[in-house]
Amino acid sequence: MSEQIQADICVIGAGSGGLTVAAAAAAFGEKVVLLEKNQMGGDCLNAGCVPSKALIAAARHAHGMRRANLFGISSVEPRVDFQAVHDHVHSVINAIAPNDSVERFEGLGVRVIQQAGLFKDARTLVTADGEIEIRARAFVIATGSSASIPVIAGIETVACLTNETIFSLTERPRHLVIIGGGPIGVELAQAHRRLGSAVTILEAEKLLSREDPELSSLVIDQLKREGITIHEGVTIEHVEPLAGEQTGPHAARLHIRQAGQAQEAGSADVIEASHLLVAAGRKPNVDGLALENAGIRFDARGIAVNAKMKTSNRRVYAIGDVTGGMQFTHVAGYHAGLVVRNILFKLAAKENLHILPRVTFSDPEMAHVGYSEDQARQKFRKIRVLRWPYAENDRAQADRSTIGFIKIITNRKGLVLGASVVGANAGEIINMWSLIVAQKMNIKAVTGYVSPYPTYAEIGRRAAISAFGELPERPAIRQLLSFLKIFG
């Protein structure tokens, strides 16, 4: 053992959550050690949120060229330079990377060790090479998650793509087959289809099965209109490499059986993929941490934590994907804030899952916060569901983005319990409703602010006003009468 470090806080993992804890603790004068065995910035920067949204942006521009005729401009089929798209994606990563770099964090006073760490005992961590031993007042595990490869016969014979590898492609996939119909699979399916690939999604259950089917049906309909082939309720019986001069390491032949299809030998359908992408769930990154040495309870779902994000070891906290909960960058950041308040200020801050929003960045986008309609009906005896369609919004009409609606759930007294949006800019619209849910506001408060005209945010305000009856369509009259009607 060549070096022993005594720290206030030791953070394992330099993704969004870990970096937030390290930066905040260092700002308050704590002695912080940060370990990262891979790339600074974690999955979000290098293989998740950032590259996927950059790819989606490129695909959106290609799609816009095809529908330009809606605006009096000649539509054209775009010529996609996939190498240039790749370069665009990685230039975005490179633009953001300095914010998460070793140099920046060392400048903040954080000791950065670019190695894996494992627990030696309940209060000691050692680096993978055994050269550094770290003892700390508190440890924070923020190691995230990684793509889970399903158990399918022969799948190990193909170099399957995951979110960690698909953004390295410099040639457009001829036929991208995606195993998994959750948000990641749907987002990447639509992006690649718009960039010119043939795309097939294979889903064992229902596409976007965790979402409100009233919203997800609009997304699924759009995917089909754009030419994406969707197989739901399928079983993949066998995967094998696809040989040939025009194939590569990601090519595969898949033998699938549709729901209800006969079980006779040789009756399975065959799908050939130039590229096979697995987007069938995530697994927590707990391997190699030697959690058992520190008395930290965990299982296949992740590390067990209480509402304060504390593990079974009172000195150790865990945040983000590794805890097996909602797997979003903003959730990891939220967890980081809880941990900083608990460690530094002893504030007993607790997780509140009810206020955490989520967005699927498909087109149309789909966003949600709080209780869904089904959840609210089960928990409360009586609720009210308020709606407003995009087609009744003037900005949506101007943008030719009229597919979608907002759905707001309140209790009998008007307390906003949840909100769901499907349509253009749903991820932006849900921000205000996340604040409303978090602050336990009444729907009446939403009618009391003035929304700039014409904006998409008016959709939510119109839904709120509908709780008090229908109003005339013209904006000026609507504003005046809503004020008189609601506030007397």
Q: Any idea what the CATH number is for the domain that residue 395 is in?
A: 3.30.390.30
Same domain, 217 and 244: yes
Same domain, 239 and 196: yes
Which domain CATH number covers 50?
3.50.50.60
Handedness of CA 267, 199, 243, 241 (dihedral sign): negative
Tell me how far CA of residue 67 lies from CA of 75, 76, 78, in angstroms. 6, 8, 11
Q: With respect to residue 127, please indicate whether it lies within any of the assigned structural domains.
A: yes
Same domain, 431 and 332: no
CA 70 to chain centre: 31
Cα separation of 393 and 401, whole Å?
Answer: 10
Cα separation of 88 and 57, whole Å?
Answer: 10
Which of 323, 353, 383 is a domain's end point?
353
398 Cβ neighbours under 8 A, 6+ residues apart = 454
3-state helix, strand, coil in the chain (%, to 5): 35, 25, 40
Q: One-letter amino acid identity for 259?
A: A
Q: With respect to residue 402, please indicate whether it lies within any of the assigned structural domains.
A: yes
User: Which ranges of the chain have pLDDT less than 70?
Assistant: 1, 262-267, 470-488
368 Cβ neighbours under 8 A, 6+ residues apart = 211, 212, 215, 357, 358, 418, 419, 420, 421, 430
Q: With respect to residue 385, please indicate whether it lies within any of the assigned structural domains.
A: yes
Q: What is the pLDDT of residue 80?
A: 98
Q: What is the pLDDT of residue 187?
A: 98
Same domain, 164 and 287: no
Q: With respect to residue 359, please indicate whether it lies within any of the assigned structural domains.
A: no
Cα separation of 271 and 434, whole Å?
Answer: 42
**Encoding tokens for residue 401?**
């983005």
Instruction: List, in sequence order, the alpha helices (H) in 28-67.
Output: 42-47, 49-66
Same domain, 122 and 195: no
Same domain, 373 and 299: no
Same domain, 224 and 324: no
Q: With respect to residue 408, please indicate whether it lies within any of the assigned structural domains.
A: yes
Q: What is the pLDDT of residue 471?
A: 46
- Residue 46 sits at the vertex; the CA angle it makes with 43 and 49, to the nearest 5 degrees, is 70
Same domain, 239 and 138: no
**Encoding tokens for residue 447?**
């009618």
Which of 310, 327, 353 is a domain's end point?
353
Same domain, 272 and 289: no
Q: What is the pLDDT of residue 49?
A: 95
**Greatest distance between any 2 Cα atoms in the chain:** 77
Q: With respect to residue 228, please indicate whether it lies within any of the assigned structural domains.
A: yes
Of the candidates 317, 327, 324, 401, the residue with the CA atom closest to the CA atom of residue 139: 317
Q: With respect to residue 358, please indicate whether it lies within any of the assigned structural domains.
A: no
pTM above 0.85, yes or no: yes
Q: With respect to residue 35, please indicate whether it lies within any of the assigned structural domains.
A: yes
Where in the sequence is the domain holding 178, given as residue range(s)?
155-280
Same domain, 428 and 299: no
Q: Which residues of 398-407 are buried (b: 16+ CB within 10 A; e: fewer)?
A: ebebebbbbb
> What's the number of domains the chain is made of?
3
Which of 220, 253, 280 is a domain's end point?
280
Of the candidates 278, 279, 276, 277, the residue with the CA atom closest to the CA atom of residue 184: 279
Cα separation of 175 and 228, whole Å?
Answer: 11
Same domain, 330 and 275: no
Same domain, 264 and 318: no
